[in-house]
Chains A and B, each alone.
Chain A
Amino acid sequence: MANYLPILVFILVAVLFLAASLIAARLLRDAGMGRTNREPYECGNEPETLALDHRFSIRYYLIAVLFVIFDVETVFLFPWAVMFDQLALFGFIEMMIFIAILVVGYIYVWKRGALNWA
């Protein structure tokens, strides 16, 4: 049971840290929402509108989500490409199956109209 003593200490520290940071934030933070809080992040340029006054189309999120999914799958393509000659035919077929599954997802997204910008 002595093995578990550090865990208890860890949990205790975690709880104390959480409580302390929440209390500190409450004591230190500015009371109101100033103009600066409401400005969208624009890399240093003067923003045109306030964040809460201007809404972006929900399509942006949808496209972003689709991009993230298809983009991240390339993470499997890199190691495969590096080891292509050693993986040989077996690796090739496996990767084609993997891409075929992605294509199924693509067809679904396409046919359901998630790519239509209207």
Chain B
Amino acid sequence: MMLEITTTHYLLLSAVLFAIGAAGILVRRNMITVLMSIELVLNSVNLNLIAFSYQLSDLTGQIFAVFTIAVAAGEAAVGLGILIALFRLLDDTHLDKATELHG
């Protein structure tokens, strides 16, 4: 017996990815893991967009996904750049060390 994959399945998978990503951003203390979690969130959106695009037979979702990929790369680059700058000062990528500001 074959299980048919419907849009709902994609939505569930993407919701799980989004939840893992969001939890990772908020909970994880290593900056590299946080960056990966951000990618996870953006890719869960891509999955959504492409699943809907397929279901609706509408290209907008795919075009949107292409732009999301490009912006996600920019975001990763800026994040890594900030991280490198901080690393040069602190010699560490752990967020717990970034404690100068609190409130």
Contacts and interface: CB of A to CB of B under 8 A. Distances in A.
- A–B touching in complex (CB under 8 Å): yes
Interface of A: 14, 17-18, 22, 58, 61-62, 64-66, 68-69, 71-73, 75-76, 79
Contacts, number: 36
A75 B71 CA distance: 11
A22 B27 contact: yes
Given A22-B27, A61-B80, A72 B70 contact: yes
Given A18-B23, A58-B84, A72-B70, 8 more contacts: A17-B19, A22-B27, A58-B87, A62-B84, A73-B70, A73-B73, A75-B70, A79-B66
Q: Is the interface of A mostly helix, strand, loop or mixed?
A: helix
B69 interface: yes
A32 to B, nearest CB: 18
